[in-house]
Structures are given as structure tokens and as C-alpha cells.
Amino acid sequence: MELLDFLKDYLQMADPRALVIGASAVGAGIAMITGIGPAIGQGYAAGKGTESVGINPKTGDSSRFVMILGGAVAETSGILSLVIALILLFANPLVGLRGMYNVMAASAVAAGIAMLTGIGAGIGQGYAAGQAVETIARRPKLQGQILRVMFLGQAIAQTTGIFALMVALILLFANPLLRL
């Protein structure tokens, strides 16, 4: 209870604009944690690329191509999170608003937290890329079909990251909570 009383007193004494700016910095930092997913996914794809060359050295060029392509797609959730972090840091529309500062500060942090969804998207996309690389090592003549399936799976895996981006943008630019 003492912590809640401290926070209540702090929020009442804090400069509202500084509160929103500080929360924006926290939200930007939280958003960038999403980079964990693409890093794991890309590492998985790279590991499978290495493994596939060991399985079938003749498919080295194909394996590298699919690994790089798949890893690039796995990075999209990290890029979406970077967009939100940059908005929070350089173009945050909440900073200039008046009134309801606590809601605006919480919205800035929530926008960053929403982007954590991209962790799963990055891991899933990297997993799909890794499996595609491994399969091409075994069946190089099916590269075109395997790539199509990989891209379809990666697109589906990315939907959660896109949903998170939509929620973060709504919190920043069209926050319905400010009208309550």
C-alpha cells in the first residue's frame, strides 16, 4: 500500500509533460525488447542454413539464399517495433496534449508493451525459414514450392506483430481513452 501511496503522491507532484516524456522513453525501450524474437528467429535460420550445407554441400547457394531471405522477413517485427520506438522518442503526439497526463503516460508505455508481441512473430518466422533451408538441402529441386510455403507461413506469423502495431498507433494517435 505504501508503494501505491508513493506513486499517487509522485504523480500528483510530477510535471505532467515530463511524466509523458519519461513514460515515452520507457515505452520506447520496452518496444525494442521485441528484437529478441527476430534475433532468435534469424539465429535459428542461420543454424539451419549451416546444417543444410553440411547435409548437402551442392545446395550451398540455395541454402544461403533462403536463409538470408527468410531471416530478412523475420526482422519485420523488429522493424515495426523500431517505428513505434522512434515515434515515441521523436514524434510523440501525446507530449503536446493537455489534460489526462496519467492516461497519456500509461498509453506511451502501453504502446511499447504492445510491440512485445513481435517476439513471437520473429521466432516463428525464423523457424519457418530454418525449416525451409533444411528442406531445400534434402530436396533442392523443390526450392520454389518450399519458398512459397515459407512466405505464406511467415506472412501468417507476422499478423500478430501487425495487430500490435495497430494497437500501438491507436494508443499514440487516436487514443479513445482520452475522450472518456
User: What's the pLDDT tens digit per position in 111-163?
Assistant: 999 999 889 888 989 999 999 988 988 888 999 999 998 898 898 888 888 98
Question: Residues with Cβ < 8 Å from 59, sequence gap 6 or more?
Answer: 52, 53, 136, 137, 140
Is residue 121 within 8 A of residue 76, CB to CB? The reply is yes
Dump pLDDT digits (tens) for 35-59. 888 888 888 888 888 888 888 888 8
Mean of per-residue pLDDT scores for the chain? 86
Q: Regarding predicted confidence, which is higher, 135 or 1?
A: 135
Residue 109: band (very low, low, confident or very high) from pLDDT cuts 50, 70, 90: very high
Dump pLDDT digits (tens) for 64-89. 888 888 888 888 888 988 899 889 88
CATH number of 19-173: 1.20.120.610
Residue 180: band (very low, low, confident or very high) from pLDDT cuts 50, 70, 90: low
Sequence spans of domains, the chain: 19-173
Across 97-121, average pLDDT: 87
Residue 30 has pLDDT above 80, yes or no: yes
pTM of the model: 0.77
Cell digits of residue 47: 543454424
Is residue 161 within 8 A of residue 82, CB to CB? The reply is no
Nearest alpha-carbon partner for 23 in 152, 111, 117: 111
Residue keyed to cell 526482422: 75
Cell digits of residue 170: 491507436
Q: Regarding predicted confidence, which is higher, 14 or 123?
A: 123
Nearest alpha-carbon partner for 40 in 167, 151, 165, 157: 157
Q: What is the largest CA-CA distance in the chain?
A: 68
